[in-house]
Amino acid sequence: MDASIEVAGLRKRFGATVALDGLSFTVTAGQVTGFVGPNGAGKSTTMRVIVGLDAADEGSATIGGRPYASLRHPLSHLGTLLDAAALQPSRSGRNHLLWLAHSQGLGAKRVDDVIEQAGLQSAARRKAGGYSLGMRQRLGLAAALLGDPAVLMLDEPFNGLDPEGIVWMRGFLRALAAEGRAVLVSSHLMSELQDTATHLVVIGRGQLVADAGVAELIAAASGGRVTLRTAARS
């Protein structure tokens, strides 16, 4: 499957609020694309539109050229982490994953693979109700990986993580992209993404501000030749 995400001319209003104002960008497979913008810029709305949780007023969002809803097995190919995994606190993380795997026709081997990939080994057999935020998040990541998704979208995955968790998350995201997946990661802090992503899509007020390689953006900004904003409009 061609895993690239194509967002074309998205517009979305909530009453008088213009959340997305003609937004277009592409997320290429095999790299981490950072999705940056201040709170309220429209990052979460964009992700919700991509997976059909919000309907756009105009424009389109496709994955491998097709709308998310038309994908034959969307849940087995696409992991999204828009919301925390629905959890029963008395169930261990591993049992939660076994239950999810069963509903997707997958077995225990796959569960143990994703537990390792998400770095959940030490917590997997403990009750999920006692998990820290970081461990809950890893459980959500493990759940998203069960179906070996070609595309992962993570909305503010650095939120609430301690420094060690942030370092782990960076490596985790890069490893997923190195496996050929398209990885779209949002943050309101450029600093969280500049060492993780190879490409940045920067938005403000629902519009594209910059769309370029990280190295290119940093060179442009530090050279003082172009600001991010003029870089985007040129």
Minimum Å gap between C-beta 233 and ligand ADP is: 20
55 Cβ partners below 8 Å, 6+ apart?
Answer: 49
CA atoms within 13 A on the CB side of 191: 3
* Residue in 25, 32, 42, 56 binding ligand ADP, rule: CB under 6 A: 42
* Residue in 16, 39, 55, 223 binding ligand ADP, rule: CB under 6 A: 39
- CA dist 161 → 14, 30, 38 (Å): 31, 25, 19
By residue count, the chain amounts to 234
Is residue 40 near ligand ADP by the rule CB under 6 A? yes
* Residue in 10, 31, 34, 43 binding ligand ADP, rule: CB under 6 A: 43
Burial class (CB in 10 A: 0-12, 13-18, 19+), 221: middle
Nearer to ligand ADP, 18 or 87 (CB): 18
Nearer to ligand ADP, 23 or 142 (CB): 23
DSSP string, 142-185: HHHHTT--SEEEESSTTTT--HHHHHHHHHHHHHHHHTT-EEEE
* Residue in 14, 58, 129, 233 binding ligand ADP, rule: CB under 6 A: 14
CA–CA distance, 174 with 117 (Å, rounded to integer) = 12
Nearer to ligand ADP, 120 or 203 (CB): 203
Is residue 122 near ligand ADP by the rule CB under 6 A? no
Name residues contacting ligand ADP, limited to 170-189 (CB under 6 A).
Answer: none
Are 170 and 195 within 8 A, CB to CB? yes
Minimum Å gap between C-beta 203 and Mg ion is: 11
Is residue 44 near Mg ion by the rule CB under 5 A? yes
Minimum Å gap between C-beta 34 and ligand ADP is: 13
Nearer to ligand ADP, 37 or 64 (CB): 37
Q: Tell me the residue type at 31.
A: Q
* Residue in 31, 33, 45, 187 binding ligand ADP, rule: CB under 6 A: 45
14 Cβ partners below 8 Å, 6+ apart?
Answer: none
Binding site for Mg ion (CB under 5 A): 43-44
Would you tell me which residues interact with ligand ADP (CB under 6 A)?
Answer: 14, 17, 19, 37, 39-45
